[in-house]
A and B are shown apart, each in its own frame.
Chain A
Amino acid sequence: MAQSEQEILAGLADIVNEITGVAVADIASEKSFTDDLDIDSLSMVEVVMAAEEKFGVTIPDEEVKNLVTVGDAVSYIAKASA
């Protein structure tokens, strides 16, 4: 079942909030995980694992480094789950 990018963004924001404590309101498409949200590499792995489970997708380790912004992750999940 394909989900809209808005639904994915909302779901991803919940995951990021749960794992890192970053406020949901601060999590927007243009935000960089590292520079804006201060999410380190290990938290990023946890976010990825939770996203894989929630959205039923696979995000290989070599893809994770390409997911610079929240929007990158939303697009990747949207494509992978289409």
Chain B
Amino acid sequence: MSLITAVSGAPFARMLGVGSYSPARVVTNAEMCERIDSTDEWIRERSGITERRFAAPDETVADMAVAAASKALASAGITADQVDCVIVASVTHLKATPSAAAEVSHRLGAGRAPAFDISAACAGFCYGLSMAQDFIRGGSAKYVVVIGVEKLTDIVDPNDRSTAFLFADGAGAAVIGPSDTPAIGPTVWGADGSQLDAITMSGRYEDLRDDETAEYPHVVMQGQAVFRWAVHDMSIVAQQALDAAGITADQLDAFIPHQANLRIVDAMVRSLKLPADIPVARDIVTSGNTSAASIPLAMDHMLQAGQIRSGGLALLIGFGAGLAYAAQVVELP
């Protein structure tokens, strides 16, 4: 018999509240076209985007994360001192150490709650949600704050006509806590490292140390390869998440995929054969692609607009660089 005392947690976990933060500055396609050789019509046709939000130069990932998490806590009715884990999903906290989460946790007032960052690109929020649920069920935490936050303008080349108009800044957060009934389905997740080059950086930051003339690293993407992977492979993963949860498409109240590109969203809806009347997140139109932030940002906007209701079932799927992906069915907070 073991001498070690084991703990167990709540039977299940659920999202208790969401919150989001979008920077004040609205950037139209017309403004984008001052830097890139493109047109409003071309950008709308290729991505669905009409405008996006850019953070202020001195606005940090932690600033945006704190703003979104504060709203999520208020919406959940949970105080910061009850939080016992903070997870920040981001690829744009451009400081190797310490983590953004440690700063966010401190600024929220979460005391000595464990805090750390995860790097799973656009799948980051769904990765975090899966971890939060397992922490709560495993007895490691009771209330977990998961934040997806990005300041992609820091890693995008503003002159690159194939990516500059796509990416934007923002934050979305959720509070996850104990539940007596299942409210977060099994996560179908993975990462295909054989496709590292599909979405990657043009260089490494240490290149700048070694060569002062080196180009500042920025995101590069093989658009067609990513599009094919997203539409084909991710529709399969989304279906697997439905199957794993024992839910059929007609039982869904919302489909909230990562807001990569409106064309990907629409192609996934066709591929999954979702009923025509299900609300689908199309937040990319006014928010752009905010990577890890896009799912909670879209969820919050849809709840605020009354497009979806608390208690409804939503299929979430995040997918991006890595190529990392994660999908689950959740009961909306």
Contact = CB atoms under 8 A, between A and B. Distances in A.
A61 B267 CA distance: 18
B12 interface: no
A41 B223 contact: yes
A64 B232 CA distance: 16
Interface string A43-66: 011101100000000000100100
Chain B residues touching A, majority SS:
helix
B196 to A, nearest CB: 16
A49 B45 contact: no
B25 interface: no
**For A40, A41, A45, which residue has the most chain B Cβ atoms within 10 angstroms?**
A45
Contacts of B227: 42, 45
Interface in B214-260: 222-225, 227-228, 231-232
Interface residues of B, number: 13
A61 B232 CA distance: 13
Interface string B195-226: 00000000000000000000000000011110
B80 to A, nearest CB: 43
Contact of B231 (A40, A44, A46, A61): A46
A42 B224 CA distance: 6
B327 to A, nearest CB: 20
Given A40-B45, A40-B46, A42-B263, A49 B223 contact: no
Nearest to A61: B225
Nearest to B42: A40
A53 to B, nearest CB: 9
Contacts of A41: 223-224
A42 B265 CA distance: 12
B198 to A, nearest CB: 10
B228 A45 contact: yes
A74 B223 CA distance: 24
A46 B45 contact: no
Interface of A: 40-42, 44-46, 48-49, 61, 64
Given A45-B231, A49-B231, A61-B225, 16 more contacts: A40-B45, A40-B46, A41-B223, A42-B223, A42-B224, A42-B227, A42-B261, A44-B224, A45-B227, A46-B231, A46-B267, A49-B232, A61-B222, A61-B224, A61-B228, A64-B224
25 contacts: A40-B45, A40-B46, A41-B223, A41-B224, A42-B46, A42-B223, A42-B224, A42-B227, A42-B261, A42-B263, A44-B224, A45-B227, A45-B228, A45-B231, A46-B231, A46-B267, A48-B228, A49-B228, A49-B231, A49-B232, A61-B222, A61-B224, A61-B225, A61-B228, A64-B224
